[in-house]
Chain A
Amino acid sequence: MNAPRNKFNHAVWVGPLIVLIGVVTYFTVAVRFPDLRDSASVNLVLVTGGAAIAAWGLFRRPNWKSWIGFGVAGSFSLLFCWYIFVYSSQLPAPDTAPVVGAAAPPLELPDQSGRMLSLENFSGQRVLVIFYRGYW
């Protein structure tokens, strides 16, 4: 509250910047490390910390620049928290997925070279079947 009038309020841009770094590094860096990906701990600290800094900047000097900084930091951090805690767990119930002990449903599809492949190609062997979301 007692910040000198002529000093620039750095919290206005530092806060949103930390939030954006937190969001971007989740999808570019943290996803490569299972612990950081699953818990998102480091990124949640960055994102909430950045929003807190922006809030502090607004409290210190409530002008239009501070409101913009707080708006950007606050909305991106809320969006990130929503993604981490809500969106990514909105998967449909796997009620019809085969259970342990059941017969594996048929699986016959082309592989990456275009050759048709099915579970029968692995007769006599155990097969680990990995379904994944895709590569885009």
Chain B
Amino acid sequence: MVAVSVDTIEDSARLAEGLGLEFPIMSDVQEEAIRTWGLVHENGKPGGGAISRPAIFLVEPDGTISWRRLTDDYRVRLRPEDVLELLRSAN
């Protein structure tokens, strides 16, 4: 499991430390990944700047995407228990 945002490495480190997260949080400051993945939300950041729209993908060992969840409303997001259920059912 990896997380991706446009935050700086320092911000991600602070977040990981604050919440005790042990998975990698990738820092996409240059907005490369969110552009290649088609997830850019221009001016989504308070005060301006592009950020990622919330999205979750499951990538198989062969590199194909087997499942994805986007949202139409950034307040409404996938819940951890739904992801766990998906992973259980996919096994």
Listed in ascending order, the chain A residues whose CB lies under 8 Å from chain B are 34, 37-38, 40, 84, 88-89, 91-92, 94-107, 109-114, 117, 119, 123-136
A-B contact count (CB 8 A): 178
Q: How far is the CA of A50 from the CA of B61 in the complex (A)?
A: 53
Contact assessment for A132 and B54 in the assembled complex, using a CB-CB cutoff below 8 Å: yes
Instruction: Give chain B residues whose Cβ lies under 8 Å from the Cβ of A112.
Output: 9, 12-13, 15-16, 24-25, 27
Instruction: Give chain A residues whose Cβ lies under 8 Å from the Cβ of B45.
Output: 134, 136
Instruction: Give chain A residues whose Cβ lies under 8 Å from the Cβ of B64.
Output: 101-104
Q: B38-56 CB contact bits vs A (8 Å, 1 = yes)?
A: 1111101110000111111
Among residues of A, the one whose C-beta sits closest to the C-beta of B83 is: A128
B72 within 8 A of A: yes
Contact assessment for A109 and B33 in the assembled complex, using a CB-CB cutoff below 8 Å: yes
Listed in ascending order, the chain B residues whose CB lies under 8 Å from chain A are 1-7, 9, 11-16, 24-28, 32-34, 36-42, 44-46, 51-61, 63-68, 70-77, 79, 83, 87
Contact assessment for B9 and A114 in the assembled complex, using a CB-CB cutoff below 8 Å: yes
Instruction: Give chain B residues whose Cβ lies under 8 Å from the Cβ of A100.
Output: 65-68
Instruction: Give chain A residues whose Cβ lies under 8 Å from the Cβ of B44.
Output: 91, 133
Q: How far is the CA of A107 from the CA of B65 in the complex (A)?
A: 13
Among residues of B, the one whose C-beta sits closest to the C-beta of A120 is: B63
Instruction: Give chain A residues whose Cβ lies under 8 Å from the Cβ of B46.
Output: 136
**A135-B26 contact given A40-B75, A91-B74, CB 8 Å threshold:** no
Q: A97 contacts which of B37, B61, B74, B87 (Cβ < 8 Å)?
A: B37
Instruction: Give chain B residues whose Cβ lies under 8 Å from the Cβ of A101.
Output: 64-66
Known interface pairs A101-B64, A103-B65, A111-B27; 20 further A-B residue pairs with C-beta atoms within 8 A, sorted by A's residue number: A37-B75, A38-B76, A89-B74, A91-B44, A94-B70, A95-B38, A98-B38, A99-B65, A100-B65, A100-B68, A107-B37, A117-B26, A129-B56, A130-B3, A131-B4, A131-B34, A131-B53, A132-B4, A133-B52, A135-B11
